[in-house]
Chains A and B, each alone.
With several copies, the nearest count.
Chain A
Amino acid sequence: MKIQSTVTVFLSIVVGLAIGVGSYTFIYAKGGSYLTNDPAACANCHIMNEQYDGWLKSSHHSVAVCNDCHTPPGFVPKYLTKAENGFWHSFAFTSGDFHEPIQIKERNREVAEKACRKCHQEIVDAIEAPHGEGEQISCLQCHREVGHP
């Protein structure tokens, strides 16, 4: 009982702090930019500059923004992903504790893979059709640089 409430208190503090610090970061570092589709917004974090600069020169510059590739389709999944990424990135940015160069995580890599197919399903039907629901080839193996080098 006692232990439990201590834990609860402790947890509330931690969560509260996290939210507090998180929101501070969120606001101060213009984390709200996560909620828009404007790529310049991502570059509010200087740490995203490289991708932003790359994107400006990329073949997809006029056809896809960051969120087209980095969020899944559908309102709820999209904002869930944004919330999750937004929180962790803000947190990582503030603490400075993340691997450099930044590496895409498996989950977000899958989001990107799906995104390619979102726009290019038709053209890749031929190479995917034979495999049905089976193993798909990775677009990124050959095209990892289309959004930004």
Chain B
Amino acid sequence: LINIMEHKQEARNPFFRVVDLTDTTEDPALWGKNFPMQYDGYKRTVDQIRTRHGGSEAIARTPTQVDPRSVVAQSRLEEDPRLKTMWAGYAFAVDFREERGHAYMLDDQTFTERQQVVKQPGTCMHCHASVYVPYKNLGGRDLIKGFEKMNHMPYSEARKLVSHPVACIDCHDPATMALRVTRPGFIEGIRALKASQGIQNYDVNAMATRQEMRTYVCGQCHVEYYFKGPEKRLVYPWAKGLKIDSIMAYYDETEFKDWTHAETKAPALKAQHPEFELWNQGIHARSGVACADCHMPYKREGALKISDHHVRSPLLNINRACQTCHKWPEEELKARAETIQERTFRLRNVAMDALVDLINDLKMVRTADSTNSALATAQQYQRKAQFYLDFVEAENSTGFHAPQEAERILGESINFSRKGQVALRTLLTGK
């Protein structure tokens, strides 16, 4: 009885505003007072459970002075040492782990060994902390100014200005709880993208639909990016489009490189978590299915339906994440996703072998004759092959977000790697 009455109460007045939330209320615990169910889910992103290709595994470690974490995710470098060859000379070859829940984002960034080998700029913070309030403070209430200022700082200094992983205020307007985009990188990136499609001055917070926002809030971070120029401005390379070919063209045009490959001297690129970009090429995007539909599906709590703020692999939550749209049994849906992933993983391995072969060849030829004129051609092939492969490798759905496109990209990567090998040998034989 009491239960029913409670339910009725809740229903009529879904949320009790216990605390006054303002545009400077950063601490999610405070927001949690008004929205305890969402907050409960949010806190559960500490869970670590592995799926066949996703989730993450909790690996115990002995905390040290420089790295006080007692639990990390499994090392991807140990799982596949070919990655070290691909990233030779870049910080990723030192430490690269499976990503885990949002709760860890700030710590994992602060303590990754990558920080110990390279001095990073404050730009990094954009996607690993609740930066909305710090940006606003730094910029004298001007978000973009604050962003620019933090980009300029060394990481260690910027680190002192933030205190939470992504928090409620990063996705929500405190007054209405409506979604909003708070990240300059996305605001500018999507504006450039829309401009390339003929839509000028796109203002995401004013012009996006609610359903689009259910993707865009994730697209704030789950995207390919680079640091532009000496100001280390965070830029999403979308000015020519979201397809890999457009992104490649963009980087080629500006002759951007992330680093010089240690063993081959190729001007290499590192792709990073292009979930938004790949999703965009898939059938779910085309059908209007947003990130939140699968990663934050509605769930019933008492008499209410709320969004599951335990953001995680949908394969750990198939009944809510998939079954409202797909009436297949859970096991079957899992098998479908895994069939797609296995197929991707298989061609990814073919592509990885091809790339390693090219790198070995390049190394060998360079050692023999570093002025060989085929080197430049082969290095360009490596640059391309590597970026294409990494685009699928670094994307975290193992192809699920756009199965056919993922294989297409890998197919092209294989072509680049092997053509690089052929080019090297052609010059050697003169044929």
Contact = CB atoms under 8 A, between A and B. Distances in A.
In the complex they form, do A and B come into direct contact, defined as C-beta atoms under 8 angstroms apart?
A: yes
Interface string B1-42: 101100110011011000000000000000000000000000
A28 to B, nearest CB: 6
A99 B8 CA distance: 20
B307 interface: yes
Nearest to A142: B324
Interface stretch (A2-10, A78-86, A126-134): A126-134
Interface in A101-149: 101, 103, 122-127, 129-132, 134-138, 141-145
Contact of B11 (A29, A125, A135, A145): A125
B12 A122 contact: yes
B303 A123 contact: yes
Contacts of B76: none
A134 B1 contact: no
- Of the four ranges (under 10, 10 to 19, 20 to 34, 35 or more), the interface on chain B belongs to 20 to 34
B118 interface: no
A143 B3 CA distance: 27
Nearest to B177: A130
Contact of B324 (A24, A101, A125, A134): A101
Nearest to A28: B4
B319 A123 contact: no
B304 A137 contact: no
Given A94-B1, A130-B178, A100 B306 contact: no
Given A101-B319, A129-B15, A135-B210, A124 B1 contact: no
A126 B210 contact: no
Given A46-B11, A144-B327, A130 B176 contact: yes
Contacts of A99: 319
Contacts of A124: 305
Contacts of B305: 123-124, 126-127
Contacts of A74: none
Contacts, number: 76
A32 to B, nearest CB: 15
A143 B304 CA distance: 17
**Which secondary structure dominates chain A's binding surface?**
helix
Nearest to A24: B1
A29 B14 CA distance: 20
A25 interface: yes
B11 A131 contact: no
Contacts of B303: 46, 122-123
Contacts of B288: 141
Contacts of B61: none
Contacts of A131: 176, 178, 210
Contacts of B324: 101, 142-143
> Which 3 A/B pairs are nearest by Cβ-Cβ distance?
A130-B177, A122-B11, A126-B304
Interface of B: 1, 3-4, 7-8, 11-12, 14-15, 176-178, 209-211, 288, 293, 298, 300, 303-307, 319-320, 323-325, 327
Interface of A: 21, 24-25, 28-29, 46, 93-96, 99-101, 103, 122-127, 129-132, 134-138, 141-145
17 contacts: A21-B1, A29-B4, A93-B4, A100-B300, A100-B319, A101-B320, A122-B11, A122-B304, A123-B303, A123-B304, A124-B305, A125-B11, A125-B304, A126-B304, A129-B15, A134-B210, A142-B298
